[in-house]
Amino acid sequence: MERKTVSTCPFCGVGCGIVLHTRDDRITWVDDDPGNPSSRGMLCVKGRFGIPFVQHPDRLTTPLVRRDGELQPASWDDALDIVAERLLEYRGAFGSFASAKATNEDAFVQQKFVRLVMGTNNIDHCTRLCHSPSVEAMLVQLGSGATSNSYIDYEEASCLVVVGCDPDSNHPVIASRMRKAVDDYGTKLVVVNPKRIDLAERADVFLQPAPGTDVALFNGMARAILDDGLEDREFIAARTEGFEAWRAVVIERTVEEYAQACGVDPHALRLAARLYARPPARRGLPADERPGSCLAWGMGITQHTHGTDNAHALINLALLAGQLGRPGCGISPLRGQNNVQGCGDAGCIPDSLPGYQPYRDDVAARFEEAWNAGIPREPGIKATDMVERIATGEIRAMYIVGENPLLSEPNLAHAGDLFRRLEFLVVQDLFLHETAELADVVLPACSFAEKDGTFTNSERRVQRVRQAVPRVGQSRPDWEIICDLARRMAPRVGVDLGQFAYRSPAEIFAEMARLTPQLRGISYEQLDREGGIQWPCPSADHPGTRFLYAESFPRGRGRFVPVRQATPAAELPDADYPLILNTGRVLYHWHGGTLTRRVQALMDQVSEVPVTIHPGDAERLGIADGDEVVVRSRRGRLTGRAVVTDAVRTGSVFVPFVKLRESAANFLTNNAYDEPSRIPEYKVCAVRVEKKRPWDAALTGGWPTASRDK
Amino acid sequence: MKVDGRTAPETGSILDAVLALGIHLPHLCKDDNLPPIGACRTCLVEADGRVVAACHTPAAGVSEVLTASERVARLRREVLRLTSRMHGREPDVAGGPRSGEIWAAYEEHGLERPAFPRRIRDGTDATSPFFEFEEQACILCGRCVTACQQLQHIGAIGIAGTATSARVTPGAGATFASSICTACGSCVAACPTHALRPKPMSDPAQAGRSRRRGNGTEDR
């Protein structure tokens, strides 16, 4: 039988509408959905051709329990009884990772389990590794940590400033919408990236700063705006605070000094600043509208030991130019995973309750009343710290849902050492990945195509996910597994069984909406009738919100935060490791590759780790395009294939963090952290590149701990 | 405005009005999701006595549209007959893109499906791991070009040459694998003849799936 199921793409944070065509319960074709307002009929290669991972034979089909040192198949009852019994021992020394690939409903149930049954706020997810500095900075300066605009604003902007991200690889449909703006409306485009990304071809200004010098760059743009008198004085006076103190810091240096610090042309820096602050009107802009500018950024800003400073410097620019709260402008941290926005909204973060509500007595009391039990009011431990604190014994057991930290944490050899010291590890996922292989119990979860629920995309749009194919093997949706587990444990910790007796995802969503002001007006009924809705949506008759901050900021006034350029990075090149490693992604793979390695066509396209290197460096090292190369850092090594191109700066190499042929960039990266957000510095570390010699076979992995500093 | 005697909205094109009423009308070069090209002429209708292509004629100002008068039905049949001379046999298609509507249009207009390849253009480009292009099934409608350029703003595909030497190509004589194509698949979804079509997925998960002929999703 043939069926078509309207759903939402499970890859990046754009949240494209997809239509899954199935025949006899097999997925045969993935179509675009022209009616979806986020994607408007567009898809990228992963959404269109990358879905076959769903029904791959590698899928976990039964629970696995470690017996005599081996993971062996077990019944659900046996596996969950073991997990329930063991986890009760570790209340107080427990942490949990939620999945930004699972649904809002899965996430909500998981944080409820962790807070209510395990009695801790030690829950976090991959936002810690991608946009925690952005959220941290936005909360301090504006009072909300979400993208302020919609994708339609990229098409209605008169200038787009795209910083530290590569939408062509990571958010391809957003890249298409940005290209449409440039091609059809003459929108100005400023690209800031140490790597010459594809979008730079269409840019009016392309700035290629030295890695780690972002604060100098944005302070330089601010100084240029002040020099030209292009700041929005009315906006600054009416909507912001802290301007004078911030200004005093910015004018400590001249535009020329800033430009020199980051290795860019001062004229280009001034032009970029002018275009952002006062762009010429795009074609078709109504005469009474002020030309707007959108600021979009990615991991190039955040994944630094001063990631939060970088984000502050960017948001200061938006406040200075008054490019907030109107159509065609706004600030966008582009989200990496399909539901990273929703996972945070649902409360899978250690520092706040669902809906980013603080652990204040009145807020906590509402949750305690609804859940009929006490919840902890101390902020929990952040994801990267949970891993580091395995060493101190503060974390002795973990429950990891839909994440693979042994590919995504920095310095994998170090992370692997720590995970092996856990006393009890539960992993719930689709595949037996690197982290699952170390688990005591592995629970098979359903993919997005086998369950109902909602995802929330980068433009705050809550969209439906619908079941298209039967569950694979004995796999179950995450929420169902966690409820089953919670019911085994609840009576022992004084929690009502009824708190985990949901019959459907719709019931879970209804509870989440009741407890979360920004979602209060959204229901499955409305989503099924009208399609996706953008929060805040405070009441059932509210149409949703296209852009934030039209009248005010959640914290009242927007706050300027002065920042100065710190040391570019925790580890800089030296004689032994003379090159700077930058990491990121490629279009044809998804993050660590756990899903996309199971799609043959994607593997046919990219099967080895590409190591991008500048022709000057390549020549000096005797490396030709296509050579096998070995990249070493103080922490590990990998083997990849050289791509020689001047798209990267002299002295730097770019390696995506997908694991191919056992090689992964995170064997090399540095577990140094940004203090406020605890994000690791994935974007800068020192490496050495050599042509692979015949006797270098299979050189991949971390150095043995003892020899790590040699 | 009346369409075949029924009242229809006057916003957008005549084709929009016709489709809104649920009337079948071929429109091989017009994707529901893309602006009109007006190339294939398979959507000819009579509008106040004039024969026009419905896809790019605004509905405003038109009072009566006939989609099935003897005159336009005969003209459309002849256009489709000429179209069928542009391509060879119906390609084998696994999977189920939404398009492939040319075969339904032939049936509705009482035309035989062409039984042998004409081989005006007979190249095959199977260099992409994701999809393949079989030129002999191409009718040069340009929908793939529009999808690539105006929907995705990539511009990897164009039409090179003129008259009988015209052909769809990713760059001058280039292959899809060597072009700037990012394999988003919008051209595959748009193609009305399955000249562009997904490759049978070679994953073990997809093995053993039956291949079937022709008309994508309509074929149950």
**Yes or no, beta carbons of A31 and B182 under 8 Å apart:** no
Q: If you measure CA to CA, which chain A residue comes closest to B33?
A: A34
The 10s digit of each residue's pLDDT in B100-147 is 678 888 888 888 766 555 656 778 899 999 999 988 888 889 999 999
Per-residue model confidence (pLDDT) at position B199: 86
Nearest to A43 among B153, B184, B203 (CB): B184
Look at A29 and B206 and tell me if their CB atoms are within 8 Å: no
Best residue of B176, B182, B191, B210 to probe chain A, by most A CBs closer than 10 Å: B182
pLDDT(A357) > 50: yes
Is residue B73 within 8 A of residue B66, CB to CB? The reply is no
Mutation to test the A interface, candidates B16, B201, B202, most A Cβ within 10 Å:
B201
| pTM of the entire predicted model | 0.91
Return the number of other C-beta atoms located less than 10 Å from residue B38's C-beta.
16
Which distant-in-sequence residues (6+ apart) come within 8 Å of A57 by Cβ? B204, B205
List the beta bridge partners of residue A632.
A637, A688
Region A252-262: what's the mean pLDDT?
A: 95
Report which secondary-structure segment, H or E, holds A412: helix A412-420
Closest to B77 in 3D by CA, of B55, B101, B106: B106
Residues 6+ apart with CB under 8 A from B48: B62, B63, B64
A7 pLDDT more than 90: yes
More confident residue, A701 or A413: A413
Give the nearest partner residue to B183 out of A49, A183, A598, using CB atoms: A49
Q: Nearest-CA distance from A47 to chain B in Å?
A: 8
Residue A632 vs residues A572, A582, A613, A624: alpha-carbon distances, Å: 14, 13, 14, 18
Beta carbons of B95 and A29 less than 8 Å apart:
yes
For residue A313, pLDDT beyond 80: yes
Rounded to the nearest angstrom, the gap between the alpha carbon of residue A406 and the centroid of all alpha carbons in its chain is: 17
Dihedrals φ, ψ of A66, to 5°?
Answer: -80, 115
| Chain A CA closest to residue B180 | A198
A44 touches B: beta carbon within 8 Å: yes
Which tokens sit at A257? Answer: 């000094």
Distance CA A68, CA A56 (A): 28
Mean pLDDT computed over B12-16 = 94
Q: Which of residues 55-74 of A touch B (CB under 8 A)?
A: 55-57
According to the model, what pLDDT value does residue B118 have?
A: 61
Pairing state between β A628-632 and A685-691: antiparallel
A87: three-class secondary structure by DSSP: helix
pLDDT band at A708 (very low <50, low <70, confident <90, very high): very low
Cα distance between residue B188 and residue B143, in whole Å:
10
pLDDT of residue A709: 40
User: Which residues in chain A have their CB less than 8 angstroms from residue B95's CB?
Assistant: 21, 28-29
Residues A32-52: tens digit of each pLDDT: 999 999 999 999 999 999 999
Evaluate if residue A316 carries a pLDDT over 80. yes
- Confirm if A162 and A190 have CB atoms less than 8 A apart: yes
CA separation for the pair A216, A256 (Å, rounded) = 11
Chain B 44-103, CB below 8 Å of chain A: which residues? Answer: 94-98
Selected residue of B34, B202, B203, B211 to mutate for chain A interface (largest A Cβ count, 10 A):
B203
Q: Quick check: ipTM above 0.85?
A: yes
- Per-residue confidence (pLDDT) for residue B96, from 0 to 100: 58
Which one-letter DSSP state was computed for residue B158?
E
* pLDDT reported for residue B54: 95
Q: How many whole angstroms separate alpha carbon A325 and alpha carbon A316?
A: 15
Q: What is the mean pLDDT of residues A334-357?
A: 93
Nearest alpha carbon to residue A316 among A368, A263, A248: A248
A52 contacts B185? CB cut-off 8 A = no
DSSP strand pairing (A397-401 vs A94-97): parallel
Q: What is the pLDDT of residues A577-603, one digit of tens each?
A: 999 999 999 999 998 888 999 998 899
Supply angle C-alpha B168, B174, B180, rounded to 5: 90
**Distance from C-alpha of A285 to C-alpha of A329, rounded to nearest angstrom:** 13
Closest chain B residue to A50 measured between Cα atoms? B130
- Report helix angle A214-228 to A255-262, nearest 10: 160
Cα–Cα distances in angstroms (integers) from residue A93 to residues A87, A107, A121, A485, in the given order? 10, 21, 11, 18
Which pLDDT does position A181 carry in this prediction?
96
Cross-chain residue pair A176–B152, CB shorter than 8 Å: yes
Q: Do B209 and A28 touch (CB under 8 A)?
A: yes
The 3-state DSSP class for residue A121 equals coil
Chain B CB contacts of A587 under 8 Å are: 182
Name chain A contacts of B188, Cβ cutoff 8 Å.
48
Q: Is A650 on the interface with B (CB under 8 A)?
A: no
Whole-number pLDDT of residue B98: 61
Dist. CA A197–CA A175, nearest whole Å: 11
Q: State the nearest Cα–Cα gap between A355 and chain B, in angstroms.
A: 35
Residue B206 to residue A52, Cβ atoms within 8 A: yes
Min Cα–Cα distance to chain A from B182, Å: 7
In chain A, which residues have their Cβ closer than 8 Å to the Cβ of B183? 45, 48-49, 605
Report d(CA A354, CA A396) in Å as an integer.
26
Alpha carbon distance A605, A591 (integer Å) = 16
Does A48 contact B96 at a Cβ distance shorter than 8 Å?
Answer: no
Site from B16, B128, B131, B184 to mutate, A interface, most A CB atoms within 10 angstroms: B184
Q: Identify any residues that bridge with A463 across adjacent strands, giving them in sequence order.
A: A455
Q: Is B104 on the interface with A (CB under 8 A)?
A: no
A487: contact with B, CB 8 A cutoff:
no
Q: Is A706 a residue whose pLDDT tops 50?
A: no
Q: B interface mutation test: which of A48, A179, A472 has the most B CBs within 10 A?
A: A48
| Residue-wise burial string across A644-678, b where 16 or more C-beta atoms lie within 10 A, e elsewhere | beebbbeebbbbbbbbbeebbbbbbbbbbbbebbb
Are A605 and B98 in contact (CB < 8 Å)? Answer: no
Summarised one tens digit per residue, pLDDT across range B19-77 is 999 999 999 999 887 889 888 899 999 999 999 999 999 999 899 999 999 999 999 99
* Residue, of A584 and B202, whose pLDDT is higher: A584
Q: Where does the pLDDT of residue A61 fall: very low under 50, low under 70, confident under 90, or very high at 90 and above?
A: very high
Residue B193 CA: distances (Å) to CA of A106, B98, B104: 42, 11, 10
| Candidate from A34, A44, A605 with C-beta closest to B184 | A44
The residue among B101, B146, B151, B152 with the most chain A CBs within 10 A of its CB, best to mutate, is: B152
Cα-trace Rg, chain B: 18
Any chain A CB within 8 A of the CB of B9?
Answer: no
Task: Evaluate whether A332 touches A295 at the Cβ level (below 8 Å).
Answer: yes
**A228 closest CA partner among A291, A278, A187, A160:** A278
pLDDT, tens digit, 9 for 90 and up, residues A427-442:
999 999 999 999 999 9
DSSP for A448-507? GGGS-EEEE-TTSEEEEE---SPPSTT-B-HHHHHHHHHHHHGGGGT--GGGG---SHHH
**Closest Cα in chain A to B96:** A29
A571 touches chain B (CB under 8 A): no
Closest CA to A291 of A326, A320, A240, A331: A326
Q: Does A41 touch chain B (CB under 8 A)?
A: yes
Whole-angstrom Cα distance, residue B144 to residue B40? 13
d(CA B41, CA B201): 35
Contact B129 A600 (CB under 8 A): yes
pLDDT band at A166 (very low <50, low <70, confident <90, very high): very high
Nearest beta carbon to residue B203 from set A32, A41, A599: A599
B199: nearest CB among A176, A180, A601: A601
Helix, strand, coil distribution of chain B in percent, nearest 5: 25, 15, 55
Q: Which residues pair with A243 in a beta bridge?
A: none
Q: Enumerate residues 6+ apart whose C-beta is below 8 A from A65.
A: A71, A72, A74, A78, A79, A82, A440, A441, A442
Q: How confident is the model at residue A302 (pLDDT cuts 50, 70, 90)?
A: very high
**Residue A79: its H or E element:** helix A76-89
Per-residue pLDDT tens over the stretch A84-97: 999 999 999 999 99
Interchain contact, A49 vs B202, CB within 8 Å: no
Amino acid, res. A684: V
- Give chain B positions within 8 Å (CB) of A172: 182, 184
Instruction: Answer for the pair A616, A642: CB distance below 8 angstroms, yes or no.
Output: no
Give the Cα separation of A426 and A436 in Å (integer): 8
Which pLDDT does position B115 carry in this prediction? 55
Chain B (156-215) residues lying within 8 Å, Cβ to Cβ, of chain A: 182-186, 188-189, 198-199, 201-206, 209
**Chain A nearest C-alpha distance from B131 (Å):** 9
A193 confidence band (pLDDT: 50, 70, 90): very high
DSSP states along A170-230? H-HHHHHHHHHHHHHH--EEEEE-SB--GGGGG-SEEE-PPTT-HHHHHHHHHHHHHHHT-
User: 591-630 in A: which are within 8 Å (CB) of B?
Assistant: 598-602, 604-605
Amino acid at position A132, single letter: S
Characterize the bridge pairing of strands A461-465 and A533-534: antiparallel
Contact A214, A259 (CB under 8 A): no
